[in-house]
Amino acid sequence: MDDISLSGLTAVNPVPLADPRADGAPLREEILAAAARVLDRGWYVLGTEVACFEQRMAERLGVPGTVGVGSGTDALVLALLAAGVGAGDEVITVSHTAGPTVAAIRMIGATPVLIDVEADTYCLDPAMLEGAAGSRTKAIIAVHLYGHPAPLGVIAALAARHGIAVIEDCAQAQDAAIDGRTVGAIGHFGCFSFYPTKNLGAIGDGGLVSARDVKNVERLRQLRTYGWTRPQFAEIPNGRCSRLDELQAAILSVKLDHLDRQVERRRALARLYTEAFAALPIVCPIERSGCHHVYCLYVIRSRERDALAQHLERAGIMTGLHYPFPVHEQPALAAAARIPGPLAVTDWLAREILTLPLYPSMPAAYQTRVVDAVRAFFASSRAA
């Protein structure tokens, strides 16, 4: 973790962008006990730990079932396949997202259709959907970016009119909600990532797909294991080998017990940032009415983004860009994409967004350093 989160920082006590090691430290004994349980049992793939974790996640989401897979990207691929999307079909999503959202579409030979995002939540702009949907459109991937839910009510209504599947990219939004409904249980499929820096993070890779239809749960289980409908008998086309392993499932079950507390800590840190920056010429994240933001990332906007980031680096504070290159600017992802309209907000965000440190175990002194450094930057720029 040090090589990643502390790279380029020169302060004696640098402030990392995220620190999964520190977040997991209070759970160390529980995690070791869970790992020992798996080792002692001797069943390491698709055993009782995975089944238990899948059941717990299904109950938490309020869906008939969930399916543990190898990564968040695999979750998207398998959801697309389960929705019947294939080569030549189109999938609408956004350009302002992590590349894997669109890479998953390309992996199955489908065509990404890239549309713009809302200027306040940075999630998919539903006003752009009607003009983007066509006869080849089979699915919409709605990304719950940074932990704020996408406007699923409007998205689902349009999808229903057109007979389009709704796939939720919940990689950054574990436990986010709209009007009390948890994301991952509103669309036809919900796709989760357990990358270590996510709100619910494994010690390695992992992912999960939720489905509102029991038949789709079974289809996902078949797709994750070679398309087998019974042992050693492949019947479902395009099957993969993508399985959440027993060790990660056991660790995730431990972390799930502490998730509510950690999410509330993220929300408290976000409130402190927003209050501290109220008088500064930056735009802080919003939480739309009826939504529950889980702040996987705290992303601000500033016209002086690059200078501010350099100032913070000199102060020993790590920042991030989520994301510096919109999908439509990445040749490997954009080459086969269809772009039905302007991406003005997306292009503007790429120039102004900056991610500040925020993680559950972040010491108060670290947050104070961030706030003081941001304030000092704008005080000096005003003086100049």
Which class for 361: exposed (0-12), middle (13-18), buried (19 or more C-beta within 10 A)?
middle
Q: How confident is the model at residue 8 (pLDDT cuts 50, 70, 90)?
A: very low
**How many other C-beta atoms lie within 10 A of the C-beta of residue 268?**
11
The residue out of 230, 256, 282 marking a domain boundary is 256
The answer to whether 326 and 347 are in contact (CB under 8 A) is yes
- Within 8 A by CB and 6+ apart from 63, the residues are 184, 185, 190, 210, 211, 212
The residue-averaged pLDDT of 168-176 equals: 98
Q: Are residues 373 and 328 in the same domain?
A: yes
Mean pLDDT over 305-313 rounds to: 98
Same domain? For 335 and 239 the reply is: no
Report the alpha-carbon distance of residue 371 to residue 311 in Å, rounded: 12
Residue 353 and residue 206 in one domain: no
For the stretch 92-149, pLDDT in tens is: 999 999 999 999 999 999 999 999 999 999 999 999 999 999 999 999 999 999 999 9
Assign 39 to helix, strand or coil: helix
Predicted TM-score (pTM) of this structure = 0.95
In Å, how far are 65, 101, 181, 231 from 86, measured between CA atoms? 24, 16, 30, 25
Does residue 110 sit in the same domain as residue 124?
yes
The total number of structural domains that make up the chain: 2
Burial class (CB in 10 A: 0-12, 13-18, 19+), 94: buried
In a shared domain, residues 50 and 159:
yes
Domain housing 83: 26-256
The reported pLDDT for the residue numbered 383 is: 63
* Domain stop point among 256, 282, 305: 256
Q: Which of 224, 256, 288 is the last residue of a domain?
A: 256
Integer Cα distance of 208 and 61 in angstroms = 12
Check whether residue 42 and residue 177 sit in a common domain: yes
pLDDT at 156: 96
> What phi and psi, each to the nearest 5 degrees, are found at residue 151?
-75, 75
How many residues comprise the chain? 384
Answer for the pair 64, 213: CB distance below 8 angstroms, yes or no: yes
Supply the CATH number for residue 69's domain.
3.40.640.10
Q: What is the pLDDT of residue 10?
A: 45
Confidence of residue 12 (pLDDT cuts 50, 70, 90): low
CB–CB of 296/199 below 8 Å? yes
Q: Over the stretch 21-42, which tens digit does the pLDDT of each residue have?
A: 999 999 999 999 999 999 999 9
Q: Where are the alpha helices (DSSP H) in 180-322?
A: 214-224, 246-256, 259-276, 305-314
**242 and 302 share one domain:** no
